[in-house]
Amino acid sequence: MQLGIVVVYLVREADGGLLNLHLRQIEKHTQVPYRIYGTANRLLPAFRQRLEQHPQVRLCECPTTDLRGSAEHAYYLEHLTRWAVEDGMSHIVTLHVDSFPMRTGWAEELAAKLSESCVFATFERINTACLLFRRDFYLKYWPTFHLSEKERAGAEYRRYLKECTPLPHSGIGYGFRAYTEGLSWHYLLESTEICGHGKVYDDMIFHLGGAVRVGELPPQGRSVFARRRYVQLLHKLNLFIPEGAKQWFRTRLSAVKERVVDRPTRVYEKEKLEPTRKALLEDPETCLKRVQTGQKA
């Protein structure tokens, strides 16, 4: 087994300790031959240097994109995954900076869940914080992390959303490809949780959740719920837009959604997880033990 670990590295200055913990946990608990494929296009120079000096990390010089949010994440994951496959890796796993293994043998255990019909292992309604698949699945079906507008407009995609309820994240395309091909996937089950964040899945993978997302504070007096309703109204207006202007309107709508819903939601989630993040960075060993046993901070 040759494991390619793909990670989009985007870390706040205050979260340098989280990057170190992520790398340390991978090294501690990964016994199979592995290589980390990462991007650092918007990473602080000091963190980039840290990755460049790590013997198991290869930084991919991807063309920088103006995309943001999950679209940006998916864009870089596409480059990294292709690189890992071309490099001969037999298995690929996506991780985030705030997700990492907590038990030795994790890669072998996840790989054992896969077969010709069960094509990837993940958690939380398909999540790239941990999504492991084999090289042969990638080369046979060519899944993509994001989906085109045409794919999202189809009836089969609507059925997929209804039956599988995936998260609207960068891994949604992998689930859709498996769904359309009549294939399945394996979900890791949540083992423990601390303070609503810091979850462990199948006693082997830790995920803090949203720790490295950077957003803007929402205007005072507007709830995330109200802002979502506003975007839903814009979606309905799309029905009345002349055909020639639909593409322009959808592009603008996507930008509005990112600005008024997605970024404020990420900030809200970030504020909720702050106590766990702080505890993790100040005393990782104690915090991780608490998470494993389900203790409250």
Q: CA-CA distance, 104 to 88, in Å (whole number)?
A: 23
pLDDT band per the 50, 70, 90 thresholds, residue 59: very high
Q: What is the pLDDT of residues 106-164, one digit of tens each?
A: 999 999 999 999 999 999 899 999 999 999 999 999 999 999 888 988 999 999 999 99
Helical (H) or strand (E) element with 205? strand 205-207
Q: What are the tens digits of pLDDT across the range 26-45?
A: 999 999 999 999 999 989 99
The answer, yes or no, to whether residue 292 has pLDDT greater than 90, is no
Average pLDDT over residues 71-87: 95
Q: How confident is the model at residue 68 (pLDDT cuts 50, 70, 90)?
A: confident
36 pairs with which residues across the strands? 5, 57
259 within a domain of the structure (yes/no): no
Q: How confident is the model at residue 280 (pLDDT cuts 50, 70, 90)?
A: confident
Residue 19 lies in a domain: yes
Which residues, in sequence order, are bridge partners of residue 77?
A: none
Task: Assess if residue 263 is contained within a domain.
Answer: no
Q: How does strand 57-59 pair with strand 99-101?
A: unpaired
What would the pLDDT profile of 89-112 be if each residue is shown by its tens digit? Answer: 999 999 999 999 999 999 999 999
49/40 Cα distance (integer angstroms): 10
Any domain includes 262: no
Whether 103 is in a domain gets the answer yes
Burial letters 150-174, b for 16+ CB under 10 A, else e:
ebeeeeebeebbeeeebeebbbbbb
E strand or H helix at 138: helix 135-141
d(CA 185, CA 120): 5
Per-residue pLDDT reduced to its tens digit, 192-221: 755 445 788 998 999 987 655 443 334 444
The average pLDDT across 166-171 equals 86
Q: Which residue has the higher pLDDT, 92 or 235?
A: 92
Mean pLDDT of 38-65: 93
Average pLDDT over residues 274-288: 77
**Residue-number span of the structural domain to which 148 is assigned:** 3-214+284-293
Report CA-CA distances (Å) from 229 to 71, 216, 236: 22, 19, 11
Residue 170 belongs to a domain: yes
In a domain, 266, yes or no: no
Looking at residue 221, what is its pLDDT?
40
Place of tokens 């989630």: 269
Given a contact cutoff of 8 angstroms between Cβ atoms, the answer to whether 77 and 8 are in contact is yes
**230 and 241 Cβ atoms separated by less than 8 Å:** no
Closest CA relative to residue 128, chosen from 183, 72, 181: 72
Beta bridge partners of 99: 207
Instruction: Determine the pLDDT at residue 106.
Output: 97
Residue 197 lies in a domain: yes
Number of domain units in the chain: 1
Kindly state the average pLDDT of the residues 170-184.
Answer: 95
Q: What is the mean pLDDT of residues 58-78?
A: 91
Q: What is the mean pLDDT of the chain?
A: 83
Q: Is 220 exposed, middle or buried (0-12, 13-18, 19+ CB in 10 A)?
A: exposed
User: Are the beta carbons of 96 and 18 closer than 8 angstroms?
Assistant: no
Per-residue pLDDT at 77 exceeds 70: yes
CATH code, 179 = 3.90.550.10
